[in-house]
Structure 1
Amino acid sequence: MQNLKMYLFASLTILLLLSGCNTKETNKDIFQYKDSYVGDNSAVGNIVYKLPGAQQLSGIELKTKEEPYGIILNYGWEKSENQYKELVIYNTTFLFTLVKNVDWITVKSERKEYTVTKEDLQKWYGKDFSNIQTAKELRNLVQQNLSNEHKVSEFLD
């Protein structure tokens, strides 16, 4: 029964994510951090806690001592592999768009670890997403690319 509840909750969460049901207020809030820096732990933390999967987030590490600068996100992720891959793409896209000087992001869980670079993700999209100015526009870009499960798996594997 517990597994069924978890599955239903996870399915509903992904459905909401893919349908773009964020309020305009939340969208405005997250883009207030546009052009933040990796060294601004308050801004990075506020961004990450507004992204999907925040409930499973167990820690954030900022790598700012030397370039290239990076972020490590640690999750206690128990949901499916496909949902995890979608979370990696979605969250790294938002962070690369909002945090000016981040070059790489590692997303870790017991399930798997992925390191994504800004350059590789922009090549994958075929677009420089750092110039995007609204959460709606960014969400649309992510959703268009997440719809191709093969493309997602190919990028992350």
Structure 2
Amino acid sequence: MHANEDIFQYKDSFIGDNSAVVNLTNQLRNGEHVEGFELNTKEQPYGIIINYDLLGSEQDYIDTALYNATFLFVLVQNVDYATFHFGKDEYTVTKENLQDWYGEELSEFTNEEKLTRYVQKQLENENKVNQFFN
């Protein structure tokens, strides 16, 4: 991510805004490994599917999925779910499940530094992280 770009410039963007979503996904964790994505905007629930050419561990994939989903849900108004493909591994995160898991209203975050710190703190609890997809 470029030092002068604040990811929160995309706050309140919409899933149908291709350029905002492209720029946002490229700035998220492992953004340099995004191979492509598709937007499901024809009918609700609205979602995004992101494909990565990333080789890593299951824990890397889970951390990336939770981290990136958090930012997508905070910044994109009308996205209901995000699916992340890492080769054959697939992780789907819904906004509702993620907010329940955090116990926080995601829309209340207003800056990148606070959100990054918050998410990283949550990801340190490996037991809690692994419960999300079980």
Residue in 2 that maps onto 1:11: none
Higher helix share: 1
Contact persistence 1:97–1:130 (CA under 8 A): yes
Contact persistence 2:61–2:86 (CA under 8 A): no
* Pairs within 5 Å for 1:104-119: 104-119=81-96
Contact persistence 2:45–2:80 (CA under 8 A): yes
1:151 and 2:128 matched: yes
Contact persistence 2:50–2:84 (CA under 8 A): yes
Deviation of the 1:25 alpha carbon: 2.7
Task: Supply the RMSD in Å over aligned alpha carbons.
Answer: 1.4
One-letter amino acid matched to 2:102: Y
Paired with 2:101 and 2:90, the residues of 1 have a C-alpha distance of 19
Say how many residue pairs are matched.
Answer: 134
The one of 85, 90, 95 equivalent to 2:67 is 90
Paired with 1:23 and 1:139, the residues of 2 have a C-alpha distance of 16
Deviation of the 1:109 alpha carbon: 1.6
Deviation of the 1:111 alpha carbon: 4.4
Q: Percentage identity across aligned positions?
A: 49
Deviation of the 1:82 alpha carbon: 1.0
TM-score where L is the length of structure 1? 0.81
Paired with 1:124 and 1:69, the residues of 2 have a C-alpha distance of 20
Identify unmatched segments of 5+ residues in structure 1: 1-21
Identify unmatched segments of 5+ residues in structure 2: none
Residue in 2 that maps onto 1:141: 118
The C-alpha deviation readout for 1:40-82, integer Å capped at 9, x for no partner, is: 0110111000111112111110000001100000111211111
Deviation of the 1:110 alpha carbon: 1.5
Paired with 2:56 and 2:34, the residues of 1 have a C-alpha distance of 13
Contact persistence 1:77–1:111 (CA under 8 A): no
* Pairs within 5 Å for 1:1-12: none
The DSSP-based 3-state class of the residue aligned with 2:92 is strand
Deviation of the 1:32 alpha carbon: 0.5
1:25 and 2:4 matched: yes
Greater Cα radius of gyration, structure 1 or 2? 1
